[in-house]
Amino acid sequence: MIEFQHVTKVYKGGKIAVEDVNVSFEKGEFICFIGTSGSGKTTCMRMINRMNEPTEGKILIDGQDIQSLNPVELRRKIGYVIQSIGLMPHMTIRDNITLVQKLLKVSDEERNKTAEKMIDLVELPREMLDRYPSELSGGQQQRIGVVRALAADQDIILMDEPFGALDPITRDALQDLVKDLQERLGKTIVFVTHDMDEALKLANRIVIMSGGKVIQFGTPDEILRNPANEFVEELIGEDRLLQAKPDATIVGEVALANPITITREHSLQEAIRLMRQKRVDTLLVVDESNHLEGYIDVEVIDRERGSGKSVGEVMNPQVFFVKQSALLRDTLRRILTRGIKYVPVVDEEKRLVGILTRASLVDIVYDVIWGEEETVSGAVESAKEEV
Ligand code: ADP
Ligand code: MG
């Protein structure tokens, strides 16, 4: 129903705000544009109702090139909600809600009916219809702003960071309200946000923008499963990848990489040789039965190089490890917050069974959460190489 075809917008002065955007939205979809500030979200949105005109390409609504439509007419058919609410201060709430109908010369009786229906929908008292915006709280005003957009019977509603200025609780309530009304009334909503939580909560498809380009377009699930690149991963955030689903997988259930180990009685010369050969900067120190005792790293070896001491004499016994019975998600969180590269995994007797590497984390998360076998075996291979 809304289709961007090779849409580019260059502002006067040469700023390329939007570059070759090709996306199309179905009727009744809740679309979120997300991206950092200046990525072109607002420009994209404002081209839909011709508040901005594309420099190249075209936008179709219901198959019709909007360039061929009268912009004022077009704007009456498309609702618009912005952060600063935009209620008319000298008009009552009733008149504010039915502003568009008034422009369209709908009868007073009809308008009253609409106003009452809408204020009921957002669960505000009908008495409020005769008040003025300044008599309402910010959250209530924004509710009215949302309702006004929905009241006009427009099929498409554009919302540009409408809840950005609200406190988290009001914001959450309004998100629920908009989502619910959108589903019940079958509206198509195009919503701009820079908040991934908001996008994941509201959207059935998300357009991710960066530097004027569409980086990824898909359902929240597709984006969480297969972020197109590091930028998207960052936008999603490690935390969210971990929290995507509560999961009871334990560390011992995932494929671990092979650790490179050494025993105490070896000389530092031998340790250096092993490190070079295996291309690692840390060795785990174990006893004959593979119990984890500590680690040595290049710094220590550098310092003690000529001392003639053994691995056991210079090793650091303070080694962070996890049991294989630990919950994987807790372990991942610890690794991420500590910023360490890998963690040794031990059994109940503290015997070393493998290591979990930071590099393989994201892929392991995908595997345990979404069951993609392929990714995990690949991840383990690369983890092996790294350690
Ligand atoms: P977003 O909504 O993602 O923050 P915008 O669409 O508002 O991004 O802006 C995209 C880019 O275009 C930014 O670099 C912005 O500075 C620039 N821009 C926006 N509006 C104008 C304008 N009227 N004139 C010149 N440059 C603009
Ligand atoms: Mg913007």
Share of the chain above pLDDT 70, in %: 86
Q: Give, for ligand 1, the residue of 8, 42, 215 to mutate: max count of ligand atoms closer than 8 Å to Cβ.
A: 42
Of the listed ranges 50-64, 228-242, 313-327, the one predicted with least confidence: 228-242
pLDDT at 364: 59
Q: For ligand 1, which residues put their CB under 6 angstroms from it? A: 11, 13, 15, 17, 35, 37-43
Going through the chain in order, the beta strands assigned E by DSSP cover 2-10, 16-25, 30-35, 56-61, 64-65, 78-82, 156-160, 188-193, 205-210, 213-218, 261-262, 282-286, 292-297, 322-323, 342-346, 352-357
The pLDDT confidence band at residue 205, using thresholds 50, 70 and 90, is: very high
Going through 122-254 in order, the beta strands assigned E by DSSP cover 156-160, 188-193, 205-210, 213-218
- Is pLDDT of 74 > 50? yes
Looking from the CA of residue 212, the nearest atom of ligand 1 is 10
Check residue 209 and report its DSSP letter. Answer: E
Task: Compute the average pLDDT of residues 125-140.
Answer: 90
Nearest CA to ligand 1 atom 1: 38
pLDDT at 254: 76
- Is pLDDT of 71 > 50? yes
**Whose atoms come closest to the Cα of 13: which ligand?**
1
Task: Compute the average pLDDT of residues 46-59.
Answer: 95
Task: Compute the average pLDDT of residues 129-144.
Answer: 88
Q: Count the Cβ atoms, other than its own, within 10 Å of residue 333.
A: 15
HEC string of 323-365?
ECCCEHHHHHHHHHHHCCCEEEEECCCCEEEEEEEHHHHHHHH
More confident residue, 214 or 83: 214
- Is pLDDT of 263 > 80? yes
CA distance 83 to 97: 17
CA distance 284 to 305: 18
Domains and CATH numbers, the chain: 2-243 (3.40.50.300), 251-386 (3.10.580.10)
Task: Compute the average pLDDT of residues 323-340.
Answer: 75
The pLDDT confidence band at residue 20, using thresholds 50, 70 and 90, is: very high
The long-range contacts involving 291-300, CB below 8 angstroms and separated by at least 24 positions, are: 291/349, 291/350, 291/351, 291/352, 292/319, 292/321, 292/344, 292/346, 292/350, 292/351, 292/352, 293/264, 293/317, 293/319, 294/318, 294/319, 295/319, 296/262, 296/271
Task: Compute the average pLDDT of residues 207-227.
Answer: 93
- Is pLDDT of 245 > 60? no
pLDDT at 370: 46
Task: Compute the average pLDDT of residues 202-212.
Answer: 96
Residues in the 5 Å CB sphere of ion ligand 2: 42
Token output for 36: 């950092």
CA distance to 16, 39, 160, 264, per residue, from 43 (Å): 11, 9, 10, 64
- Is pLDDT of 363 > 80? no
**Whose atoms come closest to the Cα of 51: which ligand?**
1
The pLDDT confidence band at residue 347, using thresholds 50, 70 and 90, is: very high
CA 17 – ligand 1 centroid, Å: 6
CA 119 – ligand 2 centroid, Å: 29
CA 149 – ligand 2 centroid, Å: 19
- Is pLDDT of 320 > 90? no
More confident residue, 375 or 37: 37
**Whose atoms come closest to the Cα of 34: which ligand?**
1
Chain-centre distance of CA 372, in angstroms?
21
Nearest CA to ligand 1 atom 2: 42
